[in-house]
Amino acid sequence: MQSTSSAAHEGRVSIEPEFAWDEQDAYLFDIDGTLLRSRDRVHFESFATSVQRVTGFEVTLAGILLHGATDTAILREACRQAGIPERVVEHHLEAILDAMRQSVLARRHELDLVRMPGVVEILRHLARRRALLGVATGNLEMIGWIKIEEAGLREWFRFGGFSDHFPIRSELIGHAAQKARELAGGSAHICVVGDTPRDIEAARANFLSVIAVATGKYSFDELLACQPEVCATSLADLLAYGRSAA
């Protein structure tokens, strides 16, 4: 992948030639690892407590790859690992999901969220360029918006794509992209912003460009190997590099 790079301030940025990273019509931001990081276990614990409350079964998230996964897919995998019959899961699925929503809502005062470096600055920069901003996340909708609100970021986003009805990430990205086109126009250029290979894969499945940021589990080099249009150690580094290159 041909790229332009910078190592200033220990940050790294790679941008494909001719890709104008801040001139797209709409951006779909992942939440966890991209916009913010949770220092609590409120959302994490909602899976096991909700399954137990609704079905009586005990589940664990141990051994499940959570990064880039969707809440609905994580829930199904946890139930499968616990040996819960699929018919039982299907019968109680909506009740479990609603219990998760209510669990996080009741404990929202316990959320301890940290915004990732440069998040507000990059959102302000893109908004000034009249870009449409949305979220596309594996969180359930209520949980995703609670996190966005508690992190003080709600004012920037007009819409979102969530996992309530989309266990497959590429499907929720496609749903969010369709909303973006409805708001910005059918020919809108849409860019996904995420921190995992799954974000990149889901964007590619929908023929969308990608800005990958190494602020989650995956390193800059691991994300760069997936060939996103942009790869940066953080959104702050991307914005700083964009200004220095202007």
SS3 for the chain, per residue?
CCCEEECHHHCCEEECCCCCCCCCCEEEECCECCCEEECCCHHHHHHHHHHHHHHCCCCCCCCCCCCCCCHHHHHHHHHHHCCCCHHHHHHHHHHHHHHHHHHHHHCHHHCCEEECCCHHHHHHHHHHCCCEEEEECCCCHHHHHHHHHHCCCHHHCCEEECCCCCCCHHHHHHHHHHHHHHHHCCCCCEEEEECCHHHHHHHHHCCCEEEEECCCCCCHHHHHCCCCCEEECCHHHHHHHHHHHC
Tally of CB atoms within 10 A around 86? 10
Q: Which sign, positive or negative, has the C-alpha torsion 62, 48, 86, 172?
A: negative
Which pLDDT score, from 0 to 100, does residue 245 have? Answer: 59
Give the pair of three-digit tokens for residue 52. 């137990």
Which pLDDT score, from 0 to 100, does residue 167 have? Answer: 94
Report the distance separating Cα 84 and Cα 59, nearest Å.
9
Which pLDDT score, from 0 to 100, does residue 59 have? Answer: 97
Give the pair of three-digit tokens for residue 65. 């790859």
The pairing of strands 26-29 and 36-38 is unpaired
Q: Give the start-to-end residue ranges of the domains of the chain.
A: 4-39+113-245, 42-110
Report the distance separating Cα 151 and Cα 128, nearest Å.
21
Report the distance separating Cα 190 and Cα 26, nearest Å.
5
Phi and psi at residue 54, to the nearest 5°: -85, -40
The class (CATH top level) of 4-39+113-245 is alpha beta
Which pLDDT score, from 0 to 100, does residue 243 have? Answer: 62
* Ordered per-residue pLDDT tens for the chain, 246 residues: 334 444 444 799 999 999 999 999 999 999 999 999 999 999 999 999 999 999 999 999 999 999 999 999 999 999 999 999 999 999 999 999 999 999 999 999 999 999 999 999 999 999 999 999 999 999 999 999 999 999 999 999 999 999 999 999 999 999 999 999 999 989 999 999 999 999 999 999 999 999 999 999 999 999 999 999 999 999 999 999 976 555
